[in-house]
Amino acid sequence: MHERRTGLATRVALVTTLAAAVAVLIAGLLSGLLVRAATQSTGRNTLKQYANLAVAAAESAKTGRTEVPARISTLLRPLNIRVLVVQPDGRVTGPAGAVAATGTVKSGEIAALAAGRNVSDTSKIGGGNYYVEGRPITSGPGAGGGIVLLQKVTVARAAERSIGLRLLVALAAGLVVAALTGLLLARRLARPLQHAAGAARRLSTGARDVRLVPEGPAEVAAVADALNALSSALATSEGRQREFLLSISHELRTPLTAVKGYAEALSDGVVPPAAVEATGQILLAESSRLERLVSDLLDLARLGAQDFRIDVASVDLVTLVNQAALVWSDRCAREGVLFGLEVPSTPVIVQSDPTRLRQIVDGLAENALRVTPAGRPIVFAVSASPYEAVLQVRDGGPGLTPDDCRVAFDRSALYDRYRGVRRVGTGVGLALVAGLAGRLGGRAAAGRSPEGGAAFTISLPRAIPG
C-alpha cells in the first residue's frame, strides 16, 4: 500500500497561493506605509494653507480687534478645524473673542508667535492628538499676536482609513485571483500526468494498444512519448517471443516425430534386422539434434543469469582456430566448399574461455556452411592489435543486407526473414554467439565479406602484455 500523497494540483495551488500571499503582504505593508506618509503630509499641508489664509484675513481685518473674520471660521468649522487667536498681550481667545480654555495653546507656542515665528506642532489636548499650526500676525491691530489652527489628527487623516480599506480589498482580490490561477494551472499540469499514470497501469495489466497524445509542457509530453515507445517496444518484444516459441516448438517436433516413428517401428518389430543399424544411426542423429537444440536454448536462457559458467584461461586464438579448422576443412571438403585459413605465425593470447570460443566458431561455421554453395569459399581468420584480438568467419554465400546486419544478433530475427528462402536451423545460434561474445568481454558484428558473402567478426580484449 502506498501512503496517501498530496496531489500535484493541490501542491502547486498551495505554493502559488503562498507566494501570492507573501507578495500581497509585502505590497500591503509597503503601500500602507506610503499611504500613511502621504495622508500625514497632505493633512498637515492643508492645515498649513488654512493657517496662512486665516492670518492673512486677520491682518486685513478692519474691526480694530485681533480676530479672525467670521466667514473664515464658518468655513473651517465643518472641517473640524478650531481657530484660536493669540492676542498681543498673550491671552488666547476664540474667533469671536471668547477666552479659550487654558492649555489649548502652549506658552512656548505663544512666545514663538510673539517672536514672529511660525508654529507647527502636534499637541495632546484633552486626551486627543491635535495638529497645531500657528502664524504670527505681523501687521494691523493684532500685530504681536497670532492665529492658531487646531485639527484632530484622526480627522486630518480620515482619508488614510478609507484608502487603506480599498487597498485591502484590492490586495484580497489579487490573492483570490492568484490562488484561482494557481489551481487552474496546476490542474492543467496534472491532467496529462494522470493520463500517463493510467496508461502505465493499463500497460502493467497487459494492454498493448496504449497510445497517449503528448500534451502539456515539454517534460510531461516526453513522459507520454516514452510511454508510447514502451508500449510498442513491449508489443514488438512479446510478438518476437511468441514467434520464437512457435519456431522452437516446430523445431522440437520434427526430430521428435522422427524418433517416435522409428522407435515404434523398432518396437513393432517391423524393421528388418539388416536395417536396425541404419535406424539406430537415424535415431542417434535426430536425438543429437534435439540435444544440441536443448543445450543451445539452455545456454541462451542462462546467458543473462549470474551463475553462467565461464572458465577463463590463457588461450592462444591461433591454436584454437587451427584445431577448429581441422574439423571444418573436412566438412567443407565433403560438401565441395573451399576452406581457407588466415592466421598469424605468432600466437595471439587472450584471457578467455576456450570452450565458449569454440562454441562461437562452430556456430558461425555451421551457418556459413549451410548457405555456401559448392565451389565457394569459407575462411577462418585471426588478427590482432595490441589491444584487441579479432576472429572472423567469412563465406562466399548469399551474404546479408545492411538491414540484416543490424538485426543479425536479435533472437530469430534473420531466421524469420529467411525461413523458406534459405536453409535455416532453429534461429538461436547468432543470438547465442553475440551473448557469449558479450559475456567474454568482447562483441560480435556482422557485415559483408571480401569473398562476396557474409563476414562475422568477434572482437576480444587482448591480454595486457607483461
Ligand X SMILES: Nc1ncnc2c1ncn2[C@@H]1O[C@H](COP(=O)(O)OP(=O)(O)OP(=O)(O)O)[C@@H](O)[C@H]1O
Residues that bind ligand X (CB under 6 A): 296, 363, 367-368, 371, 395, 397-398, 400, 414-415, 418, 422, 424-431, 453-454
Strand order in the sheet with 81-86: 92-93, 81-86, 146-152, 128-136, 119-125
Q: How far apart are CA 364 and CA 368, in angstroms?
A: 6
Query: Least distance (Å) from Mg ion to the CB of residue 225?
Result: 37
Q: 180: how many CB neighbours lie within 10 A of its CB?
A: 13
Smaller CB separation from ligand X, 293 or 349:
293
Smaller CB separation from ligand X, 211 or 422:
422
Smaller CB separation from Mg ion, 151 or 367:
367
Smaller CB separation from ligand X, 173 or 245:
245
Query: Least distance (Å) from ligand X to the CB of residue 253?
Result: 15
Query: Least distance (Å) from Mg ion to the CB of residue 214?
Result: 42
Query: Least distance (Å) from Mg ion to the CB of residue 449?
Result: 17
Query: Least distance (Å) from Mg ion to the CB of residue 223?
Result: 41
Smaller CB separation from Mg ion, 425 or 447:
425
Q: What residue 414 binds from Mg ion, ligand X, none (CB within 5 to 8 A, per partner kind)?
A: ligand X
Q: What residue 371 binds from ligand X, Mg ion, none (CB within 5 to 8 A, per partner kind)?
A: ligand X
Q: What residue 415 binds from Mg ion, ligand X, none (CB within 5 to 8 A, per partner kind)?
A: ligand X
Query: Least distance (Å) from ligand X to the CB of residue 319?
Result: 24
Q: What residue 377 binds from ligand X, Mg ion, none (CB within 5 to 8 A, per partner kind)?
A: none
Q: What residue 81 binds from Mg ion, ligand X, none (CB within 5 to 8 A, per partner kind)?
A: none
Question: Per residue in 116-130, is it b (16+ CB within 10 Å) or e — as a string?
Answer: eeebbbebebeeeeb
Smaller CB separation from Mg ion, 134 or 427:
427
The three grid cell numbers given for residue 243, joined into one nine-digit string? 514467434
Q: What residue 398 binds from Mg ion, ligand X, none (CB within 5 to 8 A, per partner kind)?
A: ligand X
Query: Using CB under 5 A as the criterion, which residues of the chain lie in contact with Mg ion when the complex forms?
Result: 367, 425, 429
Q: Alpha-carbon dihedral of residues 370, 374, 375, 379, nearest 10 degrees?
A: 20
Q: What residue 216 binds from ligand X, Mg ion, none (CB within 5 to 8 A, per partner kind)?
A: none
Strands 338-342 and 377-384: parallel
Smaller CB separation from ligand X, 308 or 418:
418
Query: Least distance (Å) from Mg ion to the CB of residue 397?
Result: 13
Q: Are 247 and 224 in contact (CB under 8 A)?
A: no
Q: Are 203 and 227 in contact (CB under 8 A)?
A: yes
Query: Least distance (Å) from ligand X to the CB of residue 295?
Result: 11
Smaller CB separation from ligand X, 278 or 285:
285
Q: How far apart are CA 316 and CA 389, in angstroms?
A: 10
The three grid cell numbers given for residue 43, joined into one nine-digit string? 493633512
Q: What residue 424 binds from Mg ion, ligand X, none (CB within 5 to 8 A, per partner kind)?
A: ligand X
